[in-house]
Amino acid sequence: MTSVLEGQVAFVTGAARGQGRAHAVALAEHGADIIALDICTSIDTVPYQLATRDDLDETIRLVEATGRKIAAFEADVRDYQAVADVVNTGLQQFGQIDIVVANAGVYSFGPLDSVDIELQRWRDIIDINLTGVFHTIKASVPSMVARGKGGSVILVSSTAGIRGLRSMADYTASKHGVVGLMRTFTNELGPHGIRVNSVHPTGVRTHMITNEELVQWYADNPSMAANVSANLLPVDLIEPEDVSEAVLFLASDASRYVTGLEMKVDAGFTERL
């Protein structure tokens, strides 16, 4: 395995399972030490289980198996102070942050018309998927600016950050909001040599999509299936590692002059006519 990230430190949110775990392991395989957080508990308005402490422990095990170090914590990205505490503890341990992957996110489903989304669900999705990303940036980026060595900030959006998807105005708005953060911070951090890009996956084979509640919801509401099953390339769901390849590219010097990019890993989903 190449060590293109040797000596670097990556901060990854939502790292207990799914894409966040895959990113943490891939970054470690390429030489980075990892600061990780995950909520490790479920939320009432999210109809599937979020990660557990056991999941986070498995990420720790997998990262350590690469030979790199990891500092991993239970924290909720809705709680700014909790995120800042994780960053500060990680900085004490590793001394620096070079790469930020704002990946923690949730999805919800229920009413077919977005106007019927319950208010608490709206608040939770925006708080986690959008405000949580801002918290992640706010807690980590000042240390990168102060250090003066540049870096890479990678914000996980979605195809729902590029086009509208039915029945999920909250998720779609949150993921478009992430693009707004990306564009703003691209401008503000460019002079510091810090690149900011967003990643836009199509449906990825993680518990967010494969949970039985959502599978049943699509079975009950076949008209909604186009939200996730309309890739142009012949693939239903991509793998978390497919997204990690994009994260690795954006984290490494291979993309040293790439900033402000909405990088689609979407099997053509958003180009579908």
Residues that bind ligand NAD (CB under 6 A): 13-14, 16-20, 37-39, 50-51, 76-78, 103-107, 128, 132, 156, 158, 201, 203-204, 206-209
CB of 146 to ligand NAD, least distance (A): 25
Q: Which of 205, 204, 23 is nearest to 37 (CA)?
A: 23
Kindly tell me which of 4 and 209 has the beta carbon lying closer to ligand NAD: 209
Beta strands 99-102 and 70-74, pairing class: unpaired
Element counts in the chain: helices (H) and strands (E): 9, 7
Q: Which residues contact 29 (CB under 8 A, 6 or more apart)?
A: 1, 66
Tell me if residue 171 is catalytic: yes
Nearer to ligand NAD, 6 or 54 (CB): 54
Helical spans, DSSP H, in the chain: 18-29, 53-65, 80-94, 119-126, 132-147, 169-189, 207-210, 212-220, 240-251
Minimum gap (Å) between residue 258 Cβ and ligand NAD? 20
Kindly report the backbone phi and psi dihedral angles of residue 224, in degrees, each rounded to the nearest multiple of 5, phi listed first. Answer: -90, -10
Among residues 91 and 204, whose Cβ is nearest to ligand NAD?
A: 204
Taking the CB of residue 260, how many other CB atoms lie within 10 A of it?
A: 14
Let me know: does 81 contact 99? Beta carbons within 8 Å: no
Q: Which is nearer to ligand NAD, 158 or 186 (CB)?
A: 158
Catalytic residue among 80, 107, 171, 257: 171
CB-nearest residue to ligand NAD: 105
Cβ 235 to ligand NAD shortest distance, Å: 12
| Cβ neighbours, 10 Å, residue 226 | 12
**Which CB, 91 or 156, lies closer to ligand NAD?**
156
Q: How far is the CB of 102 from ligand NAD (least distance, A)?
A: 8
Which tokens is 96 given? Answer: 């620096």
- CA distance linking residue 182 with residue 186, whole number of Å: 6
- Please report how close the Cβ of residue 165 comes to ligand NAD at its closest, in angstroms: 10
Using DSSP bridges, classify how beta strands 99-102 and 262-265 pair: parallel, antiparallel or unpaired: unpaired
The minimum distance between CB 59 and ligand NAD, in angstroms, equals 9
49 vs 223, beta carbon nearer ligand NAD: 49
Residues classed as catalytic: 171
